[in-house]
Amino acid sequence: MMEEIIESAVYLKEKTGFTPKTGIVLGSGLGSLIDEIDIKHRIPYREIPNFESSTVEGHAGRLIFGILGGKQMVAMQGRFHYYEGYPMQKVTFPVRVMRLLGVETLFVSNAAGGLNPEYKVGDLMIIRDHINMFPENPLRGPNLEDLGTRFPEMSQTYCPELIERAKEIAIKHDIRFQTGVYIGSPGPTLETPAEYKMFRILGADATGMSTVPEVITARHAGMKVFGVSVITNLSEPSETDKPTTHEEVQNVAGAAASKMRVIFKELVLDL
């Protein structure tokens, strides 16, 4: 496993000459965030040794290397979802490669269903904590000692300083935001009303099918993490709301991406 991670990192390093300190994972419909980046290299996943190729609609499936705020960075346009059938080691593989490339801070984004009754469609939720409902932990198996410890500490998984700074940026730009707990479940079904209710009772504010595996792996490898969910649908829609479709999720996410761009960009400038 470690050899594969090194092989991928060496390939990317030789191809780009980059040593990015910041990495971004772009979620469903949020790919337009890369418009902020002065792109130097676009590398399809299928060209990178040991990478899978992403399949879900709306996910381009490539690594972007570029400059944001004068700094080198790498972005995943499209991620690997557990529901696509990939083993956890493949879902989290790119995060580990990013670490070897030099990434110290990981920004993650996703589309999520709102569980908190205060939330509205199109809201941004700064992730303050998560609950792992995947049937598996990505760190299960032999520990990669070169990356991190066997029993990673998870008390401050989402960097408190970055959360505070993000709130200031949102307020400055008059961007409506929430701060809450993300619960990650395997999908690919959306939740039944009873399941949404259960997630709320468990203490979550939003739910989605990604992010938790990548964040666990990033923390294992000692990276700082900042995450944002775009609320694309609500667990208790009003009478007139139609059932959630993948298309609807993509459209709402696209519209909210511009707000997220502002926050991510200013945070990166601060790093």
Which residues contact ligand HPA by CB under 6 A? 111-113, 190-191, 207-209, 232-233, 244, 249
Pick the catalytic residue: 4, 7, 84, 266?
A: 84
CB of 206 to ligand HPA, least distance (A): 8
Is 59 in the active site? yes
Is 173 in the active site? no
Q: How far apart are CA 244 and CA 234, in angstroms?
A: 9
Is 185 in the active site? no
Burial of 194 (0-12, 13-18, 19+ CB in 10 A): exposed
Cβ(146)–Cβ(42) below 8 Å: no
84 or 266, CB closer to ligand HPA? 84
Is 84 in the active site? yes
Is 11 in the active site? no
C-alpha neighbours within 13 Å on the C-beta side of residue 264: 34
Q: How far apart are CA 21 and CA 70, in angstroms?
A: 12
121 or 267, CB closer to ligand HPA? 121
98 or 112, CB closer to ligand HPA? 112
Pick the catalytic residue: 210, 220, 253, 260?
A: 210
Cβ(78)–Cβ(59) below 8 Å: yes
166 or 190, CB closer to ligand HPA? 190
Pick the catalytic residue: 9, 75, 111, 221?
A: 111
CB of 231 to ligand HPA, least distance (A): 8
Q: 255 to each of 111, 212, 232, 251, how far by Cα in Å?
A: 12, 24, 10, 6
Token pair belonging to 256:
């909210």
Is 246 in the active site? yes
64 or 190, CB closer to ligand HPA? 190
Pick the catalytic residue: 54, 185, 229, 233?
A: 233
CB of 244 to ligand HPA, least distance (A): 6
Q: How far apart are CA 135 and CA 175, in angstroms?
A: 35
Is 209 in the active site? yes
CB of 253 to ligand HPA, least distance (A): 8
Radius of gyration of the CA atoms of the chain, in A: 17
Is 210 in the active site? yes
Pick the catalytic residue: 81, 119, 158, 166?
A: 81
Nearest alpha-carbon partner for 66 in 45, 84, 86, 42: 42
Residue positions annotated with a catalytic role: 28, 59, 81, 83-84, 111, 209-210, 233, 246
